């Protein structure tokens, strides 16, 4: 298997704490696509009111 990406789901108080939580996580899914950067996606994004 060549270079692959990994993903995990963590619960964190803020985006700053996400990487700290991910480091301690022992459940990771292997993705079959190469990943070149780290990204954080919120489970329930807050929509801004105009």
Which of 50, 46, 4 has its CA nearest to residue 29?
4
**Residue 7, pLDDT score:** 85
HSE-CB of 11 using CA atoms within 13 angstroms: 0
3-state class (DSSP) for residue 29: strand
Mean pLDDT by 10 residues, the chain (50 residues): 74 81 86 77 64
What is the structure's pLDDT at 50?
A: 55
Residue 36, beta-bridge partner list:
none
| Dist. CA 9–CA 49, nearest whole Å | 27
What lies within 8 Å, CB to CB, of 18 at 6+ separation is 10, 12, 40
Instruction: Return the pLDDT at 2.
Output: 59
pLDDT at 8: 85
What is the predicted pLDDT for the residue at 44? 67
pLDDT at 11: 82
């Amino acid at each position: 298997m060549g270079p692959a990406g990994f993903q995990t789901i963590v619960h964190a108080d803020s985006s700053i704490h996400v990487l700290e939580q991910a480091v301690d996580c022992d459940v990771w899914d292997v993705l079959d696509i190469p990943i070149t950067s780290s990204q954080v996606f919120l489970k329930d994004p807050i929509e801004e009111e105009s």
